[in-house]
Amino acid sequence: MMWRALRNLLRLIWVGWTLARFGALFPLENLPQAPALGVLARASLLVRRRRDARLRPGQRLAAALAALGPSFIKFGQSLATRSDLIGDEVSHDLARLQDRLPPFPFAVAKATIEAELAAPLTEIYASFDEVPVAAASIAQVHYAETHDGADVAVKVLRPGIEASFARDIDLFRWIAGILEHLLPSIRRLHPVEVVALFAEAVVIEMDMRMEAAAAAELAENFVGDPDFMVPSVDWQRTTRRVLTLERLHGHRPDDLEALHAAGHDPTEVLRKSACIFFNQVFRDGYFHADMHPGNVFILADGRVAPVDFGIMGRLDVKTRHFLADMLTGFLSGDYRRVAAVHFRAGYVPAHKSVDAFTQACRSIGEPILGRPLAEISLATLLAQLFRITEQFEMETQPQLLLLQKTMLVAEGVGRQVNDQVNIWELARPLIEQWMIENRSPQARVKQAAIDAAGLLERLPGLAERAEAAINDLADGGLRLHPDTVRRFSEAQQHRRWTTWPLWLTALVVLLVVALG
């Protein structure tokens, strides 16, 4: 435990110094629980690099995270979804943080492929382009051809990336634990849980087999769809560190000149994209969460085709229905309904005032009520809703944050393609049909019957567990396992050691800043 704290402390000092050099410690300026960190943040502006002086705070933070390496780039992209914490401007700047790194040598890629597939590269592929077409924080992509003449794209994991991410994720967990201890007010934001979800996503993204499975699941959901195409997976040439996919040929959705030259109507491309995204979110509850223009091709036949499946999102049926009811309430001006679905979902604690939350929802909804759908940003609406969460102790919903970020990117691309239309308006017929089938009074009655049948099936098991609990109490109470007692004792000891590293770090970095 002590060694972990010292290791992370040294790493944190380096991170703090890097942020200070870029003038990117501004998030610490107004922490009443830690005034020393505020002094440190303001002092860091004295040592920031001259060429960064004219950059916005968010741009300075993005530059610092890029300098800190792959895991911090990914963390910054995740942080971009939290406009409720960092503000719209910083969120916008972090959303533009590019996941690009210098490529690693071809010899390393060749060695990785041969080790993973246990054969010489020339036996695996008939030809292999030595120069990668893309290089990101986790992997890089090469084009190749198989011996049966198939064009493929080969994604190869960066060497040593697992150890690098493991080290930094441990640091993030350590910091999150300290923050939860020092700042009780942010516990509702679940920083430890957010880091855990980030770590889970990164672990999945670093296993090429998981990405291949994501592509296969997405393809299965859209079998027979005339507007959407997922590249097929070459499972024989896919392992934990190597992914081989069918190579696609097409144009970026934001390359208007190329789209027009190929005979595509950009607005029709937007309509297809909006319907595809809606079906992913509401029909399937499984959506591509990284649909920036570099990850999408428009094929010659007009189909929309994603090419990267490292970041995917899931929404269960309950969450999808919550979203539908909440958005319907906002767009119809029924703010009581908006508040009610939040309380019913358990997102707002029951002891809070429904009337006060209704008023807060009205403050968000009234500015958009009556405006054409083409002028309404649903991503911004969600961001504003998340911003009022502190007042009402609303629990953070990571899956909704990922959705909001994805919607923000989708709306941004839509405005680039045609700033006169709104992608949600283009998908209106599909949205209306889904609402009739899933959220109409008849659909609600049908769902209630299904839920009731499910409850009846679970009743025998619930009765058995209740009887077992009653018997335990009758036999002398519920006993704690000795390991549980030991963990409680260790937790008490741990609390004594969790606060000193942060204050020591602040002091050390402040001295470095002063002497710099």
142 and 187 together in one domain: yes
198 and 279 together in one domain: no
Asked if residue 253 lies in contact with residue 159, where contact means CB atoms within 8 angstroms, the answer is no
217 and 267 together in one domain: no
* pTM for this prediction: 0.76
**Residues in the chain, total:** 516
Which of 154, 198, 181, 173 is CA-nearest to residue 33?
A: 181
User: Is residue 514 predicted with pLDDT exceeding 70?
Assistant: no
Q: How many angstroms separate the Cα of 109 from the Cα of each of 113, 157, 158, 235?
A: 6, 8, 8, 19
Asked if residue 156 lies in contact with residue 138, where contact means CB atoms within 8 angstroms, the answer is no
Q: Give the mean model confidence (pLDDT) for residues 219-241.
A: 96
State the number of CA atoms in the 13 A half-sphere of 124 facing the CB: 25
240 and 367 together in one domain: no
Share of the chain above pLDDT 70, in %: 78
**Who has greater pLDDT, 486 or 141?**
141
Tell how many helices (H) and how many strands (E) occur in the chain.
23, 10
Asked if residue 312 lies in contact with residue 340, where contact means CB atoms within 8 angstroms, the answer is no
Output the pLDDT for position 231. Answer: 97
> 99 catalytic, yes or no?
no
With tokens 């036996």, the residue in question is 123
Share of the chain above pLDDT 90, in %: 33
How many domains are there within the chain? 3
501 DSSP assignment: H
**Who has greater pLDDT, 274 or 470?**
274
Q: Quick count: other Cβ atoms within 10 Å of Cβ 30?
A: 11
Asked if residue 103 lies in contact with residue 71, where contact means CB atoms within 8 angstroms, the answer is no
235 and 224 together in one domain: yes
User: Is residue 479 predicted with pLDDT exceeding 70?
Assistant: no
- The mean of the pLDDT values for the chain is 81
Give the least confident one: 5-19, 314-328, 465-479, 501-515: 501-515
203 and 276 together in one domain: no
What does the pLDDT look like over 444-453, one tens digit per residue? 676 666 666 6
Domain final position from 247, 277, 298 = 247
Output the pLDDT for position 515. Answer: 46
Which of 293, 323, 299, 296 is CA-nearest to residue 307?
A: 296
Under the banding of pLDDT at 50, 70 and 90, the label for residue 263 is: very high
260 and 242 together in one domain: no
Q: How many angstroms separate the Cα of 165 from the Cα of each of 74, 115, 123?
A: 10, 22, 32
76 lies in which domain range? 1-99+480-516
162: amino acid identity, one letter: E
Asked if residue 368 lies in contact with residue 424, where contact means CB atoms within 8 angstroms, the answer is no
**Who has greater pLDDT, 449 or 483?**
449
Asked if residue 125 lies in contact with residue 210, where contact means CB atoms within 8 angstroms, the answer is no
**486 domain-assigned:** yes
53 and 122 together in one domain: no
Q: Cite the DSSP H helix spans in 206-240.
A: 208-221
Domain final position from 412, 439, 466 = 439
69 and 174 together in one domain: no
User: Is residue 209 predicted with pLDDT exceeding 50?
Assistant: yes
User: Is residue 513 predicted with pLDDT exceeding 50?
Assistant: no
202 and 82 together in one domain: no
Q: How far apart are the C-alpha atoms of 94 and 56, rounded to whole Å?
A: 11
Give the least confident one: 15-19, 202-206, 382-386, 457-461: 457-461
**375 domain-assigned:** yes
Output the pLDDT for position 397. Answer: 73
Give the least confident one: 272-281, 467-476, 502-511: 502-511
**69 domain-assigned:** yes
Under the banding of pLDDT at 50, 70 and 90, the label for residue 9 is: confident
Residues 6+ apart with CB under 8 A from 70: 101, 137, 138, 158, 161, 164, 165
What does the pLDDT look like over 162-183, one tens digit per residue? 888 889 999 988 888 887 877 7
Q: Quick count: other Cβ atoms within 10 Å of Cβ 303?
A: 19
Q: How many angstroms separate the Cα of 173 from the Cα of each of 74, 78, 190?
A: 15, 15, 11
Q: Look at residue 463 and give its three-state secondary structure.
A: helix
Which of 406, 205, 197 is CA-nearest to residue 287?
A: 406
**382 domain-assigned:** yes
Q: Give the mean model confidence (pLDDT) for residues 436-461.
A: 71
Q: Check 290, 301, 316, 325 and give the catalytic one.
A: 290
Q: How far apart are the C-alpha atoms of 24 and 64, rounded to whole Å?
A: 7
What does the pLDDT look like over 283-319, one tens digit per residue? 999 999 888 888 899 999 999 999 999 889 899 999 9
**129 domain-assigned:** yes
Output the pLDDT for position 156. Answer: 97
User: Is residue 516 predicted with pLDDT exceeding 50?
Assistant: no
DSSP string, 291-342: --GGGEEEETTS-EEE---S-EEE--HHHHHHHHHHHHHHHHT-HHHHHHHH
**348 domain-assigned:** yes
142 and 233 together in one domain: yes
**453 domain-assigned:** no
Output the pLDDT for position 226. Answer: 95
Asked if residue 390 lies in contact with residue 70, where contact means CB atoms within 8 angstroms, the answer is no
267 and 391 together in one domain: yes
Q: Give the mean model confidence (pLDDT) for residues 323-327.
A: 88
What residue ranges in 73-138 does DSSP mark as E strands? Answer: 127-128, 134-135
**464 domain-assigned:** no
Q: Specify the CATH number for the domain of residue 115.
A: 3.30.200.20
Domain final position from 439, 472, 493 = 439
What does the pLDDT look like over 61-86, one tens digit per residue? 888 888 888 888 888 877 776 666 67
